[in-house]
C-alpha cells in the first residue's frame, strides 16, 4: 500500500494542502481496495463517513429518479476526491458511484480527516471550493435540462468529455462510455441518444472507432451546443 506523502495523486486534489505529518497520520489509517468495472463504490442511502481518493480508473456519479431513470451527474477520475459532503453532514448519500472501468481507490475515515478540517485552513478552503464547484456544475445541469434540446446537450457533452479526458492514440475521446451512459448524461432514452449520434456521424461532426467516439468537426459541435 502506497504512502500518502509519496503519492503523486494527492497533488490533484485538496490533500495537497496537508502537511507531511498529517499525511503520515492519514496514511496509517486509510484503506485501499480495487473496484471492478460495474461494481458500486457506494450506493444511494449509504453512510459514507469519509472520503475516497481515486488513485486510478473512472466512475460515474448518478442519481436515480422516482420513475427509475438514472441521471449521471458527474464522472470522476484519477486524482479526484469523492464524499467530501460526509465530512460536514451526517446525512446518507443521495448518489450512486459505479466504476466505469477497474478502479483503485483509497478510503480515509471521517474521524481521521475531520481534525485536519478544523486545524488546517488551507485544506478546509480547498475542500469548500471543490464543493462550491460541484454545486455550480449541478446548477448548470439543471439549466441545461430545462433550456437546451437533447441534441444541444449531446454536442456539449461530447466537447466536455474530450476536454476532460483527452484523446487516445487514435484521436478518439479517451473514455469508454456505453450508449446508455451517454443517454443518462444528457437525460434521454438510449434509443434517442443512438439516433442523435448517428445523425452527427452522417453530418461529419463525429465518427465511430468501434465503440469509441472521435470528434471530427469541433466547431460544428460548438455551434450545435449553442443552438445554431
**Full pLDDT tens readout for the chain, 228 residues:** 567 766 767 777 888 888 888 888 888 888 999 999 999 999 999 988 889 999 999 999 999 877 778 899 999 999 899 988 888 888 888 899 999 999 999 999 988 888 888 888 898 898 888 888 888 888 888 888 778 999 999 999 999 999 999 999 999 999 999 999 999 999 999 999 999 999 999 999 999 998 899 999 999 999 999 987
User: What Rg, from alpha-carbon coordinates, does the chain have?
Assistant: 19
H or E stretch covering 146? helix 121-147
With beta carbons less than 8 A apart as the criterion, state whether 154 and 192 touch.
no
Q: Given this model, what pLDDT does residue 105 score?
A: 94
Q: How far is CA 139 from the centre of its chain?
A: 16
Pairwise CA distance, residues 8 & 78, whole Å? 11
Give 153-174 pLDDT, tens digit per residue. Answer: 999 999 999 999 999 999 999 9
Pairwise CA distance, residues 60 & 77, whole Å? 9
Q: Given this model, what pLDDT does residue 8 score?
A: 66
With beta carbons less than 8 A apart as the criterion, state whether 174 and 165 touch.
yes
* Cell numbers representing residue 102 in the block: 477497474
**List of domains in the chain:** 4-145 (2.60.120.10), 148-225 (1.10.10.10)
Amino acid at each position: 500500500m502506497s504512502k500518502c506523502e509519496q503519492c503523486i495523486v494527492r497533488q490533484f486534489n485538496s490533500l495537497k494542502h496537508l502537511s507531511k505529518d498529517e499525511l503520515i497520520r492519514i496514511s496509517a489509517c486509510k484503506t485501499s481496495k480495487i473496484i471492478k468495472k460495474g461494481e458500486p463504490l457506494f450506493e444511494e442511502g449509504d453512510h459514507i463517513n469519509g472520503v475516497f481518493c481515486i488513485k486510478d480508473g473512472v466512475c460515474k456519479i448518478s442519481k436515480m429518479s422516482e420513475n427509475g431513470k438514472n441521471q449521471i451527474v458527474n464522472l470522476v477520475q484519477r486524482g479526484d476526491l469523492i464524499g467530501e459532503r460526509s465530512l460536514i453532514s451526517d446525512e446518507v448519500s443521495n448518489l450512486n458511484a459505479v466504476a466505469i472501468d477497474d478502479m483503485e481507490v483509497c478510503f480515509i475515515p471521517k474521524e481521521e480527516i475531520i481534525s485536519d478540517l478544523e486545524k488546517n485552513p488551507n485544506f478546509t478552503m480547498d475542500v469548500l471550493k471543490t464543493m462550491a464547484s460541484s454545486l455550480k456544475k449541478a446548477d448548470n445541469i439543471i439549466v441545461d435540462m430545462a433550456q437546451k434540446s437533447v441534441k444541444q446537450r449531446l454536442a456539449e457533452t461530447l466537447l466536455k468529455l474530450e476536454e476532460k479526458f483527452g484523446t487516445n492514440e487514435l484521436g478518439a475521446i479517451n473514455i469508454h462510455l456505453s450508449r446508455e451512459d451517454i443517454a443518462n448524461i444528457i437525460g434521454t432514452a438510449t434509443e434517442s441518444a443512438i439516433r442523435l449520434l448517428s445523425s452527427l456521424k452522417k453530418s461529419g461532426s463525429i465518427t465511430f472507432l468501434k465503440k469509441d467516439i472521435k470528434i471530427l468537426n469541433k466547431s460544428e459541435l460548438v455551434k450545435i451546443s449553442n443552438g445554431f
